[in-house]
Structure 1
Amino acid sequence: MAVAEQNRELISAPQPTRSVGLALASLSLATLLSSLGTSIASVGLPSLMQAFDASFQAVQWVVLAYLLAITTLIVGAGRLADMFGRRPLLLGGIALFTLASVVCGLAPTLWLLIAARAVQGLGAALMMALTLAFVAQTVSKERTGSAMGLLGAMSAVGTTLGPSLGGLLIAGLGWRAIFLVNVPLGLLTFALAWRGLPARGGTMEAGRGTFDVIGTALLALTLGAYALALTLGRGNFGVLNLGLLVAAGVGVILFAMAQAKAKMPLVQPARPRDPRLSAGLATSLIVATVMMATLVVAPFYLTRALGLDAGMVGMVLSTGPLVSTLSALLAGRLTDRFGAHGMTATGLAILATGTLLLSLALTRLGIASYVVPIAVTCFGYALFQTANNAAVMGGVSANERGVVSGLLNLSRNLGLITGASLMGAIFAMASSDARHGIGQQLSSSAAAARGMQITFRTATALALAALVIALLSVRAGRKSNLP
């Protein structure tokens, strides 16, 4: 008992000021790298199609592989930290991300690039899951809020910086540079983490317990089957696609059964007594699907329909994340003043308006045909995200917040995967050219504009469906006399 108390004191003891600074610097850079990995690759998709003479459906997997790997591992990363310790696991995640970035940048084939991106996603999942966990251990209680705000800001910077930095790198050095830029940043992050993170970076359970290997494998196979069902066939939905969707459905059932029997499940079962919790998770998934379409589809519209070069495409694509970042503070104030549920619906209505404007895709207006609608869309997204998170987390008891937070992140990641695959498939079909085959060339301005229009008409329908779900859930909550 005395030894346990002594270990607990050592783990929670404040770190020297210099070590705290180094630790926060390493955690900030790790957060930046993981978010940069998502946003910087999207701007390179048109260049990858040309470099590898590949279809749109094939290069989609450069984004999808990264997202699938993150979604698969991030739900179990906390358990791995309990078993092996946070410090070695975070250092391993940084090293894995950096080494995979080298392979990405040097990959001679598209499929090796995709495989390396999956490994890079595994490293990113470890970084994303463990950086927040390290904050409470590294800084004093009085500075925890500031440290959390710093990590949130770095995540936003990574998302905003990705398209513009990627565009400039592609224009000046080629597509390989968007992956190789992570190498010096990764080495710096590893060095700072090695020096600054507390040596006792594990939890009291380090080395104990088991990891849900079966659940992780089922989750990976289910997500992989789902993504393949929406991307194979070059836009033609056939027997193979249907079979993969059925396999994904069976995988969901098997995963749920495995989680019910597991001693340490990846996803803890929740009891959503409030219908608004289920609605919050559903709308989070739908909105993430819509927003991912802007990252995957927009580069082709800007490149092929508007004729912009890679550098300018990156700058224009940065508009959306920048608006979301700048709107976050205002969204928080509006939510506090007018209530989370009302602002959730308002955010969805604004988002639907923005996607409707994107669906018009009036190329004669030039860059404004994208910048103005995406600004409206991203303001609505920022308002929705802030309000929905507040509504979901505010409606559960304290002992359920960890579970619900995990479900909220899982629903968002599933939406990102759906957006990259489903919305990408819709774009490929809509921009098909009978002379060249579905999604093969995307060379004409009219084809790219048509693909943009139909994709965002679908996105508008999804946003309106989310709005209906949100409104119905509020009505159901009032009937149940829920606060």
Structure 2
Amino acid sequence: MHAIMMASPSRVARNLTFAAALLGLLMAQLDGAVVIAALPTIQHELHGAGVAGVTAVYGLAVTVATPMHGRLGDMFGRRLMFPLAIAVFAIGSIGCAVAPGLAWLIVARAVQGLGGSGLIVGAVSVLTELFDREVLLRRQGWLTAVSAVAFVAGPPVGGVIAGQLGWRWIFGLNLPICLVALVIGFAGLPGRDTGLPRGRFDVPGALLVTLGGASLVTLGSGENLGWWSLPLVLVAVVAAVTLVRVERRSQSPLVSPRLFQISALARTITTTGLSGATLFGTFTFMSLAIVATTGGGPTETGLLLVAMTAGQLVPTVFFSVLAKKFPNLPLWGRAALAAGVAGMALVALAILLPSVALLVCGLVLSGAALGLSMQVYTLITQSSAPKDAIGAAVATLTFSRQIGNVVGIAVFGWILALLPSGGLVAIFALAAAVTLVALLAAPSSADRADAAAA
């Protein structure tokens, strides 16, 4: 593992920094969904149209800023960039809490998203630099568990806070957590290795990532864009093609082509993008699948989604133990994707029959695939990335997952609009097929050996 051997922090300092990273990750991911339940109240109080922008702009800012935070972390070190991300997130939270109008709130949410992106990338990068591979196997599960809890708990937690304290406290409560994370975590944050070249920040690459990422996130927003969809697709494609050409010529690229020359990393990033489209992109449609199968209401839907969450959390716990005895990470990744193929196929079949038993099995397997694949492919990235590009590699992996998610939502949304009667079955059948492609593209043990040799 690529430990940065400078003034090594004590064990206590490392553990406190790990806790701070978890707090930062929890805040950043929780705030992506925590305002959903409060949106009607916000719209009523602030008297503004376009309240959906409160959530959309946060997701947009998190996505497009991810590669930039990875590169800046490599350039200046986590000791500078992680506290800066906390500060930006806190400033955005203050702006949201005191917002006099909807436009102000949306701008503040964008600022908050810029900080949140740094917290997400920083948490994984800090973990990579603080601990060796054996410790990473144990602790990586905490990141997955935090993500799962934030994913599921966001809306209900936001509803409770908004109902009991008022919606502004959704953002106000971030401030003491930011302070705690900064105080307990700063001492153990790894600094920049001065023996590595810093390089320059890739401004053209950042602009192209912002342009292409913004287009894709807008396409995946779920809004009816009408004829705007085609121009957005064209902008995204042109930005992507231009980005590849620019990054190949850049001396200090934002998304380094060098990462894709390492077989394990190239396959991991590709697989993560494909599985992000299916395992994450279908989550938006899971509640519709549950209703189509059971005919139940919100209570039944919420209870059945617990099966998916359980499927996500349980393998995460056992993986940390079993991976010590069976350390073949590529095999674990392929097992996770195989579970994803089976899970998506079972959900499609459950809608057709219909069958609650098949649906529950599909939800559990889909949740297991999501949690385990995210954990395994993060570990492969952490152990395969060059020492001077840990942040860039983690950011590229995260960005690939995020873009896969929004593309998946957009494509599946179009399918549902075109096929209102059989659209859900088609969505999950296609998701199973794409997950199978991800399985075939996944890294092998030979790829890992090549990365270790490099």
TM-score by length of 1: 0.70
Structure 1 unpaired stretches of 5+ = 1-7, 432-449, 478-483
Structure 2 unpaired stretches of 5+ = 447-454
Question: Counterpart of 1:269?
Answer: 257
Amino acid at match of 2:311: V
Matches within 5 A, 1:180-199: 180-194=172-186, 196-197=187-188
SS at match of 1:339: helix
In the TM superposition, what is the alpha-carbon distance from 1:182 to its structure 2 partner?
2.6
Matches within 5 A, 1:432-447: none
In the TM superposition, what is the alpha-carbon distance from 1:15 to its structure 2 partner?
3.4
- Cα gap change, 1:135/1:275 in structure 2, threshold over 3 Å: closer, same or farther? closer
Residues 347 and 358 in structure 2, CA contact (< 8 A), matched pair in contact too: no
- Give the Cα separation in 1 of the matches to 2:45 and 2:284: 17
Give the alignment partner of residue 219 of structure 1, picking from 209, 225, 232. Answer: 209
Residues 180-211 of structure 1: CA distance to partner in whole angstroms, max 9, x if unpaired? 443332232233335x445x834427995321
SS at match of 2:95: helix
- Give the Cα separation in 1 of the matches to 2:353 and 2:99: 35
Question: Counterpart of 1:416?
Answer: 405
In the TM superposition, what is the alpha-carbon distance from 1:251 to its structure 2 partner?
0.9
Give the alignment partner of residue 91 of structure 1, picking from 83, 90, 106. Answer: 83
- Give the Cα separation in 2 of the matches to 1:221 and 1:84: 25
Residues 36-59 of structure 1: CA distance to partner in whole angstroms, max 9, x if unpaired? 23343556667778888999xx66
SS at match of 1:23: helix
Amino acid at match of 1:81: G
- Give the Cα separation in 2 of the matches to 1:323 and 1:388: 18
In the TM superposition, what is the alpha-carbon distance from 1:269 to its structure 2 partner?
0.8
- Give the Cα separation in 2 of the matches to 1:46 and 1:424: 24
- Cα gap change, 1:328/1:145 in structure 2, threshold over 3 Å: closer, same or farther? closer
- Cα gap change, 1:12/1:274 in structure 2, threshold over 3 Å: closer, same or farther? closer
- Cα gap change, 1:369/1:98 in structure 2, threshold over 3 Å: closer, same or farther? farther
Residues 203-225 of structure 1: CA distance to partner in whole angstroms, max 9, x if unpaired? 42799532112211110011112
Residues 397-420 of structure 1: CA distance to partner in whole angstroms, max 9, x if unpaired? 988995765543332121123245
- Give the Cα separation in 1 of the matches to 2:162 and 2:353: 25
Question: Counterpart of 1:30?
Answer: 24
Question: Counterpart of 1:462?
Answer: 431
Residues 209-265 of structure 1: CA distance to partner in whole angstroms, max 9, x if unpaired? 321122111100111123334559x53642x32122112211112211221122211
Give the alignment partner of residue 356 of structure 1, picking from 348, 354, 360. Answer: 348
In the TM superposition, what is the alpha-carbon distance from 1:120 to its structure 2 partner?
1.8
- Cα gap change, 1:116/1:322 in structure 2, threshold over 3 Å: closer, same or farther? farther
Aligned residues: 436
Question: Counterpart of 2:235?
Answer: 247
Matches within 5 A, 1:151-166: 151-166=143-158
- Give the Cα separation in 2 of the matches to 1:397 and 1:85: 16
Tell me whether 1:40 sits opposite 2:34 in the alignment: yes
- Cα gap change, 1:231/1:183 in structure 2, threshold over 3 Å: closer, same or farther? same
Residues 94 and 123 in structure 1, CA contact (< 8 A), matched pair in contact too: yes
Residues 70 and 394 in structure 2, CA contact (< 8 A), matched pair in contact too: no
Question: Counterpart of 1:4?
Answer: none
- Cα gap change, 1:71/1:13 in structure 2, threshold over 3 Å: closer, same or farther? same
Residues 251-295 of structure 1: CA distance to partner in whole angstroms, max 9, x if unpaired? 112211221122211111148689997665444223322333455
In the TM superposition, what is the alpha-carbon distance from 1:377 to its structure 2 partner?
2.3
Residues 273 and 404 in structure 2, CA contact (< 8 A), matched pair in contact too: yes
Tell me whether 1:74 sits opposite 2:66 in the alignment: yes
Residues 40 and 165 in structure 1, CA contact (< 8 A), matched pair in contact too: yes
Tell me whether 1:134 sits opposite 2:126 in the alignment: yes
Residues 422-441 of structure 1: CA distance to partner in whole angstroms, max 9, x if unpaired? 445666x479xxxxxxxxxx
Residues 343 and 361 in structure 2, CA contact (< 8 A), matched pair in contact too: no
Question: Counterpart of 1:434?
Answer: none
- Give the Cα separation in 2 of the matches to 1:405 and 1:83: 14
- Cα gap change, 1:358/1:73 in structure 2, threshold over 3 Å: closer, same or farther? farther
- Give the Cα separation in 1 of the matches to 2:221 and 2:149: 30
Tell me whether 1:15 sits opposite 2:10 in the alignment: yes
Residues 287 and 466 in structure 1, CA contact (< 8 A), matched pair in contact too: yes
- Cα gap change, 1:251/1:262 in structure 2, threshold over 3 Å: closer, same or farther? same
Tell me whether 1:210 sits opposite 2:204 in the alignment: no
Residues 104-159 of structure 1: CA distance to partner in whole angstroms, max 9, x if unpaired? 34545555444333322211221222234434666799866655554454444434
TM-score by length of 2: 0.74
- Give the Cα separation in 2 of the matches to 1:467 and 1:139: 33
- Cα gap change, 1:213/1:20 in structure 2, threshold over 3 Å: closer, same or farther? same
SS at match of 2:34: helix
SS at match of 2:207: helix
- Give the Cα separation in 2 of the matches to 1:398 and 1:73: 21
- Give the Cα separation in 2 of the matches to 1:77 and 1:261: 21
- Percent identity of the aligned residues? 23
Give the alignment partner of residue 381 of structure 1, picking from 345, 370, 375. Answer: 370
- Give the Cα separation in 1 of the matches to 2:296 and 2:46: 23
In the TM superposition, what is the alpha-carbon distance from 1:324 to its structure 2 partner?
0.4
Amino acid at match of 1:219: V
Question: Counterpart of 1:324?
Answer: 312
- Give the Cα separation in 2 of the matches to 1:268 and 1:46: 43
- Give the Cα separation in 1 of the matches to 2:385 and 2:409: 34
Larger Rg: 1
Residues 81-107 of structure 1: CA distance to partner in whole angstroms, max 9, x if unpaired? 344443232112112112222333454
In the TM superposition, what is the alpha-carbon distance from 1:470 to its structure 2 partner?
3.3
